[in-house]
Chains A and B, each alone.
Chain A
Amino acid sequence: GAVVSQHPSRVICKSGTSVKIECRSLDFQATTMFWYRQFPKQSLMLMATSNEGSKATYEQGVEKDKFLINHASLTLSTLTVTSAHPEDSSFYICSARDSGGGNQPQHFGDGTRLSIL
């Protein structure tokens, strides 16, 4: 089945560091990828929609200068948390939808647990 690889799985770093998370679709092309944030025991909150070759679409309340998204190819999207602070600590999950669109399920990466000290 379709596989999405997310890397790294865990990051621990000091406050002020910028952290890049990669999301790759391994066996299908994804013109659109999604980035979610999940707090403990809560659901996924959509942060932004990453569009190949164009600017990402951010959800209300998500700072685009804080969470930089780049979708340079049909199989790779990156999320960079700039100048991370302890409140940015969270579980970040990416997903990709096969180009079939609306009635296709999303395929999720295994998530990145970000801990800012």
Chain B
Amino acid sequence: SQQGEEDPQALSIQEGENATMNCSYKTSINNLQWYRQNSGRGLVHLILIRSNEREKHSGRLRVTLDTSKKSSSLLITASRAADTASYFCATDDRNTGGFKTIFGAGTRLFVKA
């Protein structure tokens, strides 16, 4: 079963604006990952943040992790139309030894040119 809740479910912004997506989870984790999915395609891994890390950057992406609140955020700065996609957080369930990955409900991002 999915354990992640993401908000917002859908987000529409203008090109150049920043997009922030949030994710909450329920169990203890080894790490948290963010993935992107273009419509009708598989998922592409964006960034992984370990449970002992608080913030991580990769290009225009900034991810934060607050294990006390069991939440994470993904910030995409200076968004582009090509960033239009669904974004999912995922956690490796520590109850399964970090073996099984559980996905959040996802945020559908639409960036208007």
Q: Which residues of A contact B (CB under 8 A)?
A: 4, 6, 32, 34, 41-46, 49, 91, 93, 95, 101-103, 105-111, 113
Chain A binding surface SS class: strand
Let me know if A103 and B108 touch, CB within 8 A.
no
Give chain B's interface secondary structure class.
strand
Interface size in chain B (residues, C-beta < 8 A): 27
Which chain A residues border B98 with CB–CB below 8 Å? 101-103
Min Cβ gap A105→B in Å is: 4
Give chain A residues whose Cβ lies under 8 Å from the Cβ of B104: 43
Q: How many A-B residue pairs have CB under 8 A?
A: 62
B48–A103 CB distance below 8 A: yes
When the two chains form their complex, are residues A102 and B101 in contact, meaning their CB atoms are under 8 A apart? no
Whole-angstrom CA separation of A32 from B40 in the bound complex: 24
Contacts of A113 in B (CB 8 A): 40
Q: Which chain B residues in 57-113 approach chain A with CB under 8 Å?
A: 88, 92, 97-106, 108
Q: Which residue of A lies closest to B44 (CB)?
A: A108
Assess the B43–A93 pair: CB atoms within 8 A: yes
Q: Which 7 A-B pairs have the closest CB atoms?
A: A102-B98, A108-B42, A105-B45, A108-B43, A110-B42, A44-B103, A43-B103
Query: Quick one: which of A41, A49, A91, A111 contacts B108, CB cutoff 8 A?
Result: A41
Determine the distance from Cα of A59 to Cα of B54 in the docked complex, in whole angstroms: 32
Knowing A41-B108, A113-B40 are in contact, say whether A105-B103 is a contact too (CB < 8 A).
no
Q: Which residue of B lies closest to A4 (CB)?
A: B42
Q: CB-CB < 8 A to A4: which residues of B?
A: 42
Closest residue of chain B to A105 (Cβ to Cβ) is: B45
Cβ–Cβ contact A109 & B42, under 8 A: yes
Q: Told that A46-B102, A49-B99, A103-B30 touch, could you supply 11 new A-B pairs with CB distance under 8 A?
A: A42-B106, A43-B4, A43-B106, A45-B2, A46-B103, A101-B99, A106-B43, A108-B42, A109-B42, A111-B41, A113-B40
